[in-house]
Amino acid sequence: MAKKKPLSVLFVILLPLALCAQEKHNFSVSGTIKDKRSGETLSGATIGFLDHPGLGVVSNAYGFYSITIPEGKYAMVVSFSGYAIDTVALDLTQNIVLNKSMSPTNNQMQEVVVTSSRRSNNILKTPPGVQHLSMEDIKNVPVLFGEKDVLKTIQLLPGIKSSGDGKSGFFVRGGGADQNLILLDEATVYNASHLLGFFSVFNSDAIKDISVYKGGMPANYGGRLASVEDIKMKDGSDQKFGVNGGIGLIASRINLEGPIVKDKGSFMVSARRTYVDAFTGLASDTNIKHSVLYFYDINLKANYTLNEKNRVFLSGYFGKDVLDIKSGAGIDWGNSTATFRWNHIFSNKLFTNSSLIYSNYNYNTQYTNNANNIRVSSTITDYHFKQDFNYYLNPRNKLDLGIDVIYHVTQPGQATASQTSKYNNVTLQKKYALESAIYASHEWTPVPKLKFTYGVRLTALTVLGPDSAYTYDNASNVLTSTWYPGGKVVKTYLNPEPRFAASYQLDGNSSVKLAYDRNVQNIHLLNNSTSSSPTNVYLPTSNIVQPEIADQVSGGYYSNFHNRMYEFSSEVYYKTMQNQIDYKNGAQLIGNNNVESQLMFGKGRGYGWENYIRKKTGMLTGWISYTLSKTERQIVGINNGSWYNAPQDQTHNFSVVGIYQYNKKWTFSATWVYNTGNATTWPSGKFPVDGAPVYYYSSRNAYRLPAYHRLDLGATMIAKKTARFESSWTFSIYNAYGQSNPYTISFQKDPNNPTKTQVLQTTLFKMVPSVTYNFKF
Amino acid sequence: MQKTIFILLLLVVFISCTKTITPALNTAPAQLIIQGAVSDTAGPYYVSVLNSVGFYADNSYPGVSGAGITITDSTSGLRDVLTETTTGYYVTHSLVHGIYGHTYLLNVSLNGKTYTASSTMPQPVALDSVTFDKQTKNTIRAQANYQDPTGVVNFYKYSVVINGIPDKRFQTFEDRLSDGRYIQDKVDADTSEIKVNDMVQLSLVGIDKNVYTYLSEAENIAYSNDQLAAPATPVSNISGGCLGYFSAQSVSSRKRVVK
């Protein structure tokens, strides 16, 4: 026994040394992924390793990635849809910075070559309810007047519904049109439509990509209930100067970009203007004949890489719409945004971004005729600061932390009238609110096939003075009025928003996902008319108007098949909403300091099943999406307190998009959409008031508009393509078979027969052809 | 190619069109409509009791007989029992002149149910003149010109009589955003509703708040229902479960021939 003891003691002493000798060090590989041709950063590129399935990372919004792995030899594979796969041999003995520039491929002309079936796949790992679209994806989808449009194209995806011809706004999973957070380089865009909804404010030449979140919102987003549309502007090529543009029948656009200092900084300027009023002279209706109708928008961006660890960006958007009818009524509105951002790489594992953002939306209505002369101006201005940290602890753990503070100043209405006008000058109380949030999120991959993203976003809304706070009785009379001086807190609302998403990879090509998220909204849009009038009232949360809250559970099955040529997903969701707003009968929303007395509050719910199949490569590409859904509201005092269909409830929603690359010169495309008509309220009888027929209504939204369907056709012909110059012609027909889809339906006395009443349907567009000439230097 | 493009260019204007449709509409059970007014112009005054009809039916509303109707001037105590003249139309007898500031009460009993309303006659506002506006092609509209009293909350209704026949149209206005201003308001009209050489009488009717609420909601439904996201039946100032209104109103009229 005594002989063996020294041996075991020696073993115990030597064991730790042995372990130390075998212990490997971990090193970080980090860097930025860019497009080789233009220098644009690529967000969402996958960095993986051959023979190490499940080991990988995705580049962040600025193209930054970081992964910490044991030292050794690796074959690193960088891949991103639309680009040639890049492989780098690595011998990892210390922390390294490895930036990659990827070459774009033309997907539609080549088959995709799969190098490893065990490569990790983006689609399988993102939370449910997320969709990314690059400009390549929307390039050939035909839209109204031949203009490529990100917001119009996302309405062809499941779960996202359009509000119809000539109307702006869209509805995601049954939410309201004001429940979508539309961001352009992190700045909130309040009214993302031009010309009453025919075009969005996003000039495709200036846009890099769009990510849409319908559910499973990561903790770094907040502020709206239904969705996030995160739109990124292009940075501009840091390699060479370029000019491209297009001349069309309705609008023309031009885009300039180039390096400030090659490889270090670049700029981009994009401008667009319509001249629809050049054609209104042809209209026979005198009201339209001499109208002024135009919009313009300008996108500006500059960025500069100070050094390896620091990069700054400055972006701005300015746009304006003017609609002035000859009879003396006019509306104009405009958005301006400016963002300053600073990316700082603290270490190989820690990336941070600081943003300072200004956003302003102003809208004005005026009547210029003498007796009714008045100009009403309203604005909403945001001053916004954000700080975000991405910490890539190790391949299994990533932490995101941040702070987000917005100071909202709303001027709901300022009216100026002339001496002879029948209106008084009115200035409504300005509203001040501070919306602050801190969030923390953990992306955890305990085993290679399973990934959790969970976190919480804590939001506080502080209502501030100077302002009066009112309370009201049921008859909308003011009960009490309390004055709060500047800087004094009227009320604070604190709301934690838990976020949770899980994905489980069933095999190399399919996964199932589940998510739960709570979202809170503190800016509310009041609108009780069918037209998406830009004079709608924006109101922040107050002592009367509570923050809106939505809870959503979603989940689904996702797969790629046939060598990743096809992508398929089937998702279900269920959502409940609190503190939804509706209006008293005959609500007076304009010029009303006590507008809150006109509101009624209640609950909402929505559920649906979304299906999507997409063919990504080959001569014929495109997708089919189908959504079956329902969305309802319940407000005490409306519809006898029973649940009623929300107007945007569309039972079936179906889109088919097909793009066919016929040859090197011609590409043809077609889009067909079909949806059940919106729920609507129609009369159940009539009765006289002073002899005039007035209509009687029983329940809210118990009727349906006729089903909407439409075919759009497009063709692009490449006229010239050399290294220095490219030109093409785009032809399109909107509503190719001239379906009469209703824009408005009106119940009225028959003008030809005073003993009867009739129903009149107005259609805005039958067939609308268009031609655009595009050029690129 | 050039010519084709030019022709296509010409085609792009706002191409909209209208057509009548006949969607299936439910008909709710007949609703009772009680409408009556007393004013400062000489009586007698009428109260009508009618039933609603389906949307596609003729614009004639069946009268309801056998209602017991009284109007009481609660300020003076005068109580008048109305009698039926033609089916559904009831007339006053002793009540011949409404007085400013007095509150009038309506009481209707029909088939065991009672409907009541109260309305106070507002102080009068004088209509200065009626003029005509021809700005819109093929349509002549009457224009009311008057001074809104400062510091008083006023609700108005415009009604028009053309060549002695009351025009089946009404329009409301309130001074919420216009207190103390000189008002020149055009009353909407259809093409050829008013023609040259017509004798037009325009009345500025002062009404109380609840009557204004009913009439302005009814106006939105009658003339702008395509712009209402959620149209709803107007709320009557008569309680008991019926439609309609009872108004004590002050009337100021002006006449003119259209040139």
Q: Label residues A202-240 b or e (16+ Cβ within 10 Å = b).
A: bbbbbbbbbbbbbbbbbbbbbbbbbbbbbbbbbbbbbbe
Q: Are A684 and B11 a contacting pair at CB < 8 A?
A: no
Task: Please give the structure tokens belonging to residue B194.
Answer: 């008013």
Question: What CA–CA distance (Å, rounded) separates A720 from A590?
Answer: 54
3-state secondary structure of A649: coil
Continuous H helices in A489-617: none
- Name the residue among B30, B169, B176 with its Cβ closest to that of A692: B169
Partnered with residue A374 across adjacent β-strands are A367
Question: What CA–CA distance (Å, rounded) separates A230 from A771?
Answer: 30
Q: Locate tokens 């401008």: which residue?
A: A271
Cis bond leading into A466, ω under 30°? yes
Interface probe with A: pick from B233, B235, B236, B247, most Cβ of A within 10 Å:
B233
pLDDT tens per residue, range A656-676: 999 999 999 999 999 999 999
pLDDT score, position B10: 33
3-state secondary structure of A9: helix
Which chain A residues are within 8 Å of B251, Cβ to Cβ? none
Interface probe with A: pick from B13, B179, B209, most Cβ of A within 10 Å:
B13
Q: What is the DSSP string of A77-102?
A: EEE-TTB--EEEEEEESS-EE--EEE
Distance from the Cα of A312 to chain B's closest Cα (Å) equals 44
Phi-psi region of A91 (alpha: psi -120 to 50; beta: other; left: phi over 0): beta
Question: SS3 string of A720-736?
Answer: EECCCCEEEEEEEEECC
Task: Please give the structure tokens belonging to residue A761.
Answer: 């349907």
Residues 6+ positions from B213 with CB-CB distance below 8 Å: A586, B234, B235, B237
Q: Are B26 and A684 a contacting pair at CB < 8 A?
A: yes
pLDDT score, position B208: 95
Q: Are B12 and A768 a contacting pair at CB < 8 A?
A: yes
Question: What CA–CA distance (Å, rounded) separates B139 from B152?
Answer: 34
3-state secondary structure of A439: strand
3-state secondary structure of A10: helix
Distance from the Cα of A645 to chain B's closest Cα (Å) equals 11
Is the dihedral angle over the CA atoms A159, A164, A165, A168 positive or is it negative? negative
A487 reaches B (C-beta below 8 A): no
pLDDT score, position A250: 79
- Name the residue among B15, B30, B220 with its Cβ closest to that of A765: B15
Question: What CA–CA distance (Å, rounded) separates A140 from A738?
Answer: 22
Q: Are B59 and A749 a contacting pair at CB < 8 A?
A: yes
Which chain B residues are within 8 Å of A371, Cβ to Cβ? 183-185
pLDDT tens per residue, range A557-582: 999 888 888 999 999 999 999 999 99
Which residues in chain A come in under a pLDDT of 70? 1-23, 106-125, 143-146, 196, 278-290, 326-327, 370, 531-535
Is the pLDDT at B8 greater than 50? The verdict is no
Q: What is the DSSP string of B145-156?
A: EEEPPTTS--EE
Question: What CA–CA distance (Å, rounded) separates A657 from A156?
Answer: 8
Task: Please give the structure tokens belonging to residue A196.
Answer: 């009453």
Contact between A661 and A110 (Cβ < 8 Å): no
Q: Which residue has the higher pLDDT, A248 or B173?
A: B173
Q: Are A693 and B230 a contacting pair at CB < 8 A?
A: no
Q: What is the DSSP letter of B27?
A: -
**237-256 of B, contacting A, C-beta below 8 A:** 243-245
Which chain B residues are within 8 Å of A682, Cβ to Cβ? 23, 25
Interface probe with A: pick from B12, B167, B204, most Cβ of A within 10 Å:
B12
A512 reaches B (C-beta below 8 A): no
Across the A/B interface, how many CB contacts are shorter than 8 Å? 223
Q: Quote the Cα angle for A190-A195-A196, to 5°.
A: 70
**Long-range contacts from B81-85, C-beta under 8 angstroms, 24+ separation:** B82/B47
| Interface predicted TM-score of the whole assembly (ipTM), two decimals | 0.92
pLDDT tens per residue, range B141-171: 999 999 999 999 999 999 999 999 999 999 9
A749 reaches B (C-beta below 8 A): yes
Which chain B residues are within 8 Å of A762, Cβ to Cβ? 16-18, 226
- Name the residue among A529, A687, A744 with its Cβ closest to that of B243: A687
Which chain B residues are within 8 Å of A756, Cβ to Cβ? 56, 58-59
Residues 6+ positions from A393 with CB-CB distance below 8 Å: A68, A349, A399
Q: Are A586 and B218 a contacting pair at CB < 8 A?
A: no
Distance from the Cα of B131 to chain A's closest Cα (Å) equals 13
Q: Are B59 and A693 a contacting pair at CB < 8 A?
A: yes
pLDDT score, position A529: 75
- Over pLDDT 90: what percentage of chain A? 58
Find the closest chain A residue to B178 by CA distance: A423
Find the closest chain A residue to B181 by CA distance: A422
Which chain B residues are within 8 Å of A768, Cβ to Cβ? 12, 15
B12 reaches A (C-beta below 8 A): yes
pLDDT score, position A709: 96
- Name the residue among A426, A583, A585 with its Cβ closest to that of B217: A585
Which chain A residues are within 8 Å of B60, Cβ to Cβ? 755
**273-332 of A, contacting B, C-beta below 8 A:** 279-280, 282-283, 286, 288, 327
pLDDT score, position A36: 87
Find the closest chain A residue to B217 by CA distance: A586
Question: What CA–CA distance (Å, rounded) separates B94 from B116?
Answer: 20
CA–centroid distance for A767 within its chain: 29
